Structures are given as C-alpha cells and as structure tokens.
Structure 1
Amino acid sequence: MIKPNPDLTHYNLEDFVTDLSFISWVLLPNPELSAYWENVRFSHPEQIKNMEQASKIISGITLKPAIFDQQEEDVLWDNIAAKTTIHQISHTTKLWRIISTAAVLLLVGGAFFLYQANRQVTYITAFGEKRTIILPDHSQVVLNANSKLHYLKNWGSNKKREVWISGEAFFVVNHLHQSGTILPGDNFVVHAGQLAIEVLGTTFNVNDRRGLINVSLVTGKVSLAVKAKKFVMKPGEVFEYQSGQDTIIRKKTKAVQKIVWRNNKLEFSQTPVIEVFKQIEDLYGYKVVVRNPKILEKKLTGTFVTGSESAFLKGLSIALDITFTKSSSKQLIVQ
C-alpha cells in the first residue's frame, strides 16, 4: 500500500498531483484510500479546490512514450521508490499496477514535466507537437516538436535565470532590470550544448539539433559564450555554432525565416533537399530513406504549413515531384 502523507495543511496543487497515494485514489481507488481522502476533504475544506483541480489533471493525463536517457530514468524510479512505502504485496500484478500509477509523468497538453528531487522541472515534447511554457519569471518559451527544456524551479534575485535546451525553442524573455546595479537574477541564460546564450530581456530562437546550434535574434541584445570567447548579436542576425569547435559563424539567413515554425510553417529558400528531409525527421520522427540519389540534387523554395503532417508531405511531394511512402518501421521512403 502507498502510505498517505499525514501532513496536508500546507499542500498545494503540485503536491496533490505528485502525491502517489492521491494518484492511486484517482486512478485505482480502493475502500481504504477512499476513506482516507474523503476524510481529508472533510478535515481540510480549504483543500477541496486543489484536490478537484489535481483530480482533473490526473484523470486527463494521456500516457505517451517519453524520450529520456538512462540517467533520467534512474532518477525517476529513485524518486518513486523514495516516496513509496510497500507494506505487503499479495500479487506481482498488484505491485506493478501501483508502480505504474506512481510513474505517471504528468503529460499535460502533449508535453510532460517531471519535478525531480532537486526541484528541477523538465518539459519534453513529442514528435509533431508544440508546447507553450511560462517560466517562474513569466518569460515565455514555445517548445518545438521533439525538444526538451529543463530548469531549476526556484528562481530568485540572487540567482541567474537559467534554462537548458535541446531541440528548438523560441524565447520571449521578461526584462527584469530597471536601473542601477544589474543583479544576478536580472540575467537570463540559455544553455544549448557547449553554448551559453545570455540576455537581459529579448526575443530569440534557439535550435540545437545534430550537433549544430543555431541562434536567431529577433529583438534586444544577446551575448554568446563558448570556451571563454564571447560574441554579441544584433537584432535580425543568425549565428551558428558547430559542437566541438571554438568559433561561431554569422549566417546571412534572416532571423525571421528561422521562427516561422511557431505559426506551424517552415520557410525554405533554395534549401538543399537533404536539409528538408532532416526537418521531417526532427519534427515527425521518421527515418527518411531516399531510393533515387538524383532526388538529393534538388533544392526547395517556398513556405509550407506543418500543422498537418499529411498536408505538409503532400505539399513537398508536389513541389519536389517526389512520392513519400510510409513503412511499418517508421521509415519514410522517398522516390
């Protein structure tokens, strides 16, 4: 049995949503749990609203496969074990049902967030979906498909605002500095691989995929740091960093061309078709297999809508005069 938490006086919505006993009561109720949580409702009427909201969140969760490495998986199960007291198990299946319930990862709105022991918050989006995230300082992040963002939950004026990104995200950073000395908390830092992107308040895009980091500045001012070297960006500029190198390259591409994905679009200008296929792999999770090598000589120009996978592929088929065939092994055959 999962042991209920005896002290609920200071519980908030997050505490209920991550309480293993409460999760079990919502998803796999039994008489003992029902008696306990109904008594909580009676004894703590001030918590009824939080309990009802938490119940709706848990009941609306859709479990999808999340992509995370072995270290993250170990942390997850360690956290579950640390919060779970098992007194007696009569059947293996019963244990598995309880552990499965405890392993709910709060998949809300198509992305999941995991509060780890050090209060780290992690968001992961699946292929083909986006997520808008409001950070503790009210900065906004639009997380593109197949991407990951994490940060420490507790931010303060004496600490830098720091986030870590892999994949692609668009940032609208809340400007906190008003006048006088710049406090540590006024700074906002995005970590992408070996690259540190530091700002005060601005809007910019970061794409970190396949060992290549691309930063596009829309407004404000950004400082890029890598291996003790710093580079300053101006609005409209695009900088590119190849993992393992010690230099950053300024690209001629305009920044606005890099952020149309927020509106479910991709814009190409004489783009080699191999780069287009990489976009398909990154956004939808396919492995693109080209049967005719001559196709790789093609280039693409135009703006395409990505909100519908089938419509996007249909548009590419017409523009490039090619055909796409899906296989059962998540391959996309191009001919």
Structure 2
Amino acid sequence: MKYSHYSTEDFLADESFQAYALGSDPAAAQFWPQWLAQHPAQAADFQEAAALLEQLAGQRLPVSAQLQKDEAAKLRQRIREMAGARSQPVLRSGRRAQRVPYGWVAALLLVVGLLVAGLGLWRRPATATYTHYTAPAGAPRPVVLPDGSRVVLQANAKLTLATTWQPGRAREVWLQGDAYFDVAHTAPTALKAVALAPGNVKFTVHAGPLDIAVLGTQFTVFNHNTRPEVVLNSGQIALTAGRGPQKPLLLKPGELAVYNAATPAAPLSKRPVQAALYSAWTSGQLDFTDTPVPEIIAALQDTYGIQISVHNPGLLRQKLTGSLPGNDLEGMLAALGKSLDVNVHRAGKQVSLD
C-alpha cells in the first residue's frame, strides 16, 4: 500500500514508521518528517499513530521470557473477544478521551503484541546515541571514523553515525550532501567480493534512496540533488536503491552510477568516467592530462551541481592538459574559460561558455 493511502492502522503496522516513532533508526527519522511535509492530509492519522507508539515505548518494565509469552496470549484472546464487540471502544490519555473504530484497536493490540513478544520492546533499550559531523559552508571537512575509515565532507554536507561501533558488527553511516570515502577493510584478507561478504564486515552508506555497500574502498558520493551519484576510485561497490529485494548494481573502478526515480523499473545506470576528476576537490586541485572537454564539463556538473552550456560545438572536440583550483568554483570556472579562450557567464547554477 502506498504511504499516501495509509490509515492509522497502517502506520502502526509499518516497521519503518515504528522505528521513526521509537527513535531507533536515523534513516526513518529523516524520511518520515519529509514525507509528512509532502502529505499534510495524512497528518491526523500520522500524529495519532506516532503518539500511541511513543506511549507504548515509555513502558520500561523488565519482563521475563515467560511473562512475554503470557502477555502475548492475553493479547490474542483480547483480540478474539473484541471481534464480536459492537460498541466503539475509547482510548484515554492524560489529555483527552478518544473514540476509535474497532479496526484501529485491533491493529494497536497487534503492535503491542509485536512490541512484547516479537521485537522485545516492552522493556525499551536505551536509545542509541548518534554523532553528527557537519562541514562548514566555506570548505571541506576531514573526518576519521571509529574503524579508521577516512571521510572528507564537502561544504554543507552532514554525516550521521552511531557514536559507538562494536567490533564485528555492520558499519553504517547516513549522508546528506557530498563526501569522499576511504573505507578501512575489516573483512578477512581472502574475502574480496562485496556481494558475497556477510553483513557484519560491510560498510554501508545510506544516501537518500541509495544504499552503498563496500568492504575496503575509495569512492565519492554526490547526494545534493534528486539524482544522487556514486563514483568508484578503487575496490568494489554493491549499490541498491529503494525498497524490497533486488539485485545490486556492481561498480568497478572508473565507473559512475546514477539514480533516476523517473525510471522505477531500472532506477540505476552506470557509465565509465575518469574517477580522479570526481574526487579532485578533496585535495583542492583538479588535474587532467589530454582530457576531452566534455568529460571535464560532466565532472564539474556532477561535482558542483551546476549546469554548463557550450555555444560553440568546436569546444567539445578539444582536449586539455593542466590544473584547476578544485575547491574554488569561481576560480575554477575562470581558469577553464581562460584555457578554452571563451567568456564565462554564471547565474546561480547556470553557467555558459561563450
């Protein structure tokens, strides 16, 4: 069922929504407020479901395994009893009484049953703590992660991860904006294929709709628009997008993958690129040797989220050798115009070479 058709019962039964209401998943915490802003008509059901789950999560009583089974049995019996009930039950909170239909209560009791017997959340564990790294507006920011992996955040990017990483557990981060990753390899030496690796040795970047799984790898993620991209410098990447089981897209060094929501049947595609052009911003210097101008333009557009138009087709047949200041967009465009002997005009994200 599409989220836009969700009732309160549907929200209560959705695992991602439960994780949002319980504060146990930063990806869900990012997704659901954005979804609600786009679907204000669902606000009443959304907020009521969230409030109920928050109340349930407030239960902190320690319970034995036998008590969990007993309580689950009671819940099942209560649901059977309510099946023949004709009157509408009333849920009461500290603020107001609320009359709700039977279907809602049945769904709520099912969720309680899951919390008690299935998910072990009757005694809610301490909420995981997360660390956030944010790059300032003017410059990239290097970050060293608990496993020794290195990340360079592009200006205004944000990285979220669990404050404590346990040895032998999966490593996960959540990225908003652009970043370069140099991931430490923790898997056994003989294990080199990311698609065959167990989850506890993988490093996963969640970037918008993309899940980027690696072992020990160098790559760049551009997550500043509706078409996030990934460029692989070395190693392997297993890339998936969206929900449900799917075959991952495998990247080889020198390939760029792009996500396009407009083609849901095949949202991921890839093409060969000069990967060094896409990570040059981390060193502040964009170096190229006998590189076709269209490749330089494509790298600049993907890296900086700009659109470059060329009015002289002859420019696209040229090749350039030299360097550009990779962390100064204005200086870089000026140097590019000088190299091509053209005038550069910029208006926001639009750049023209005349």
Partner SS, residue 294 of structure 2: strand
Task: Map residues 134-283 of structure 1 onto 2, 5 A cutoff.
Answer: 134-157=144-167, 159-178=169-188, 184-227=199-242, 228-243=246-261, 245=264, 246-266=266-286, 269-271=292-294, 278=301, 282=305
2:225 and 2:259 map into 1 onto residues whose CA distance is: 11
Q: Post-superposition shift, 1:320?
A: 4.6
Q: Which runs of 5+ in 1 are unaligned?
A: 1-67, 73-116
2:308 and 2:278 map into 1 onto residues whose CA distance is: 25
TM-score by length of 1: 0.51
Q: Post-superposition shift, 1:133?
A: 0.6
**Quick check: 145-154 or 167-176, which moved more?**
145-154
Partner SS, residue 216 of structure 1: strand
Contact 2:222-2:303 at 8 Å conserved across structures: no
Q: Post-superposition shift, 1:317?
A: 3.3
Q: Post-superposition shift, 1:333?
A: 9.5
Task: Map residues 1-335 of structure 1 onto 2, 5 A cutoff.
Answer: 118-157=128-167, 159-178=169-188, 184-227=199-242, 228-243=246-261, 245=264, 246-266=266-286, 269-271=292-294, 278=301, 282=305, 294=311, 299=316, 302=320, 303-308=323-328, 311-323=331-343
1:272 and 1:156 map into 2 onto residues whose CA distance is: 42
Q: Which runs of 5+ in 2 are unaligned?
A: 1-29, 35-126, 192-196
Partner SS, residue 201 of structure 1: coil
Q: Post-superposition shift, 1:230?
A: 0.9
2:275 and 2:297 map into 1 onto residues whose CA distance is: 21
Distance 1:310 1:164, change over 3 A: same
Aligned residue identity for 2:185: H
- After superposition, the C-alpha distances for 1:132-188 in whole angstroms (9 at most, x for unaligned) are 110111111111234222222222135321112232222111111227996643111
TM-score by length of 2: 0.49
Contact 2:261-2:267 at 8 Å conserved across structures: no
Q: Post-superposition shift, 1:270?
A: 2.5
- After superposition, the C-alpha distances for 1:79-109 in whole angstroms (9 at most, x for unaligned) are xxxxxxxxxxxxxxxxxxxxxxxxxxxxxxx
Q: Equivalent pairs: percent with the same residue?
A: 26
Q: Post-superposition shift, 1:250?
A: 2.1
1:223 and 1:158 map into 2 onto residues whose CA distance is: 20
Q: Post-superposition shift, 1:193?
A: 1.6
Give the number of the structure whose alpha-carbon radius of gyration is greater. 2
Aligned residue identity for 1:198: A
Partner SS, residue 209 of structure 1: coil
Contact 2:212-2:237 at 8 Å conserved across structures: yes
Aligned residue identity for 1:256: A
- After superposition, the C-alpha distances for 1:291-332 in whole angstroms (9 at most, x for unaligned) are xx94799648544223445532431332354556789x9998
Aligned length: 216
